[in-house]
Structure 1
Amino acid sequence: MIYKNNAVVRIMLILLLLITGLFFVEAQTGCSNNASQTGEIDAVEAVEGPGPSLNPAPPTNVIATPGNGQVTISWDLVSNATSYNIYTGISGGGALIQANVTPSYVNTELTNGAQYFYQVTAVNAAGESERSVEVSAIPTAGSGSGGVGEGERAVPDITPPTVTLVSPAHEASNVDVWSNIVVEFSEPMKRETINADTLEIIPLPGVSVTRVDFADAEGGGLLVTFTLSNRLDYGREHTIQISDSAQDLAGLSLAEPRQFGFTTGMRQWRETTVLNTIEGGSLTEPHVAIDNNSNVLTTWIRKADVAGEDLLSSYYSNSNRAWNDPAAIDQGNNSLDALDMVMNNNGDAVAVWRSI
């Protein structure tokens, strides 16, 4: 390549060598007759300088060792790393919890029985490495400092959760129509994935879940109680389906929706309740009405031998499963008759009678 100006040659050589990462040693323009007339470059000598620094490799042999309310994370040193960052969460791909640590870190104030996931990155002046292979551990009160054992790697959870108990039991009979549904999962679960839509009652579209309560199960799993909006049908087979949207702490769902079934009992008479007693005289004209919520109102006339006649009423609350004490609507008349009483579906009632 021929240039007319030696200054241009030097500037372009400097720029070229800076871009390619080489150190400029010497640039010499030609001294021959032809070169002196054309400005041709005779020779360039250069040596390679140090390249840009590189990000460190991800840490290897990461181990999570559970303890009582804590997990200890350790890993092998990375040759060109100056520090390390720790990432954790209750599911994969957690957030940064500690930066600039040495090759051992203790994550404290954890919940025993919950699973925690960890990844480590190496850091130097050039930047941060990719995250390490993810490991997990479950702190427990009885694990002490030994946990999974010296040098043993805590591996990610790959086992889907299962349903270990249901109530009413599968294929149970004569089940109370006011029963709630109780489900026990084999391991701790993400509670936000369990809600009213997790449970489906077949074939009762009019019955839904109004409340979901959680409790720790004795075996380390999760106990969930689903409160229903209404009673089940009498003397009928019911099928309950648990959605596979329920997930464990590793984000694993039930392998498939779980179904179980039972049969409710027939309508039965409850124990007799005495509402009113009288010595001498009589109780006449009883009337009974019931609303849509199975609340009951009854009225009757009490005819005493000496104290005249009274119109009495009592109310049965289905939610409390109890009768109220009788209340007097009309008292002390010589004669009461022609009693009639009605109640609508909302529990509003009207009574009429003749008083003489």
Structure 2
Amino acid sequence: MITVNSLPGRTIITEGKERLYFSGTSYLGIHKNIVFQEVLRDGFRQYGTGYSSSRSSNVQLAIYEEAETWLANFTHAPSALTFSSGYLAGQALIHHLDQSSQFLYAPQTHPALWRNEQDNSSGEYHRWVSHLEAKVGYNHREVIIVANSVDPLYARAHSFDWVAHLPDHIKITLVIDDSHGLGVLGERGEGIYATVKKLVPKNVSLVVVGSIGKALGVPGGVVLGDATLIQLLKKSPYFTAASPVVPAYLYAMLRAEKLYPVLFAQLRTNVLHFQSLIKENSIFRYFGTYPVFYSADQNLCDALSEKCVLSSFPYPNPDSDCITRVVISALHTQSDLDTLGQLFSEYVAVNH
């Protein structure tokens, strides 16, 4: 375990030495972006450091609806509602939907969307999908299907083509956690909502939920869905009784509208460059232009630790095996990636 006194960017200072940092979930590097920091300071000056009130108060800040309109437009969703965290957004949604419906959880769904620990599901996503149509077909009441948009731990894409073939005799709600897709997936980082929406039959309602604190850099969460659902969630105690997102961050998000596509393009450039360096003898699993590269090699992290810090920790439990990954961000330079690529080539030449 590494303990530091400042948040890493493209590098990290450990034991008095600077090392390249390839970990974390700030895919666009917003947390270290000077432009974002400046507009965030402007936001703090206008709104203060927090908002100690309820969204149901008789005094309303316009920034919340402005930000939610932007998020809906950005993701191509009908409506959006923000919460102070992705976890709270997930719990608010799931408890609203938990009305004697049958829940079917995909493997590795985040605990933010569990009703209890019994909802934890393990196994392979594609195997779960192969049995899903039959499981749904046996039901005669509403079914809630819950899944992640992507597997960010093992760098695996999730196809949702199966949605078009779901049985049509019952009402189905499909809930997708897009925490690791918002800002990264899609043609411009808009996430998965629009892609899946094209596939859903009329009897399937699509809801996307997730953190906006990863690629988008805002400590908060969002639910994306139709206007009726959003209005019902606004009556939930998870919404009315909780403090909202710090408004200064939403202010910064709106002012960073033109910054996001620039960072998204840079991230893609970085990912493609790293892919070009490792494609000959890769021990990584990766897909598309997703910025996560998984390796089953348990020795890789230690072998490169003199110059690089990779993502490597036991998950989901402290006694689980370590999951080792390289996470690329928009902060990395071509030189950073060349260095990592060279270290990787040297390691492969000796160990594989």
- Whose helix fraction is larger, Structure 1's or Structure 2's? 2
Q: Normalized against structure 2, the TM-score is what?
A: 0.20
Q: Normalized against structure 1, the TM-score is what?
A: 0.20
When Rg is computed on C-alpha atoms for both structures, the one with the higher figure is: 1
Which of the pair has the greater relative contact order for Cα pairs under 8 Å at 6+ separation? Answer: 2
- Whose strand fraction is larger, Structure 1's or Structure 2's? 1
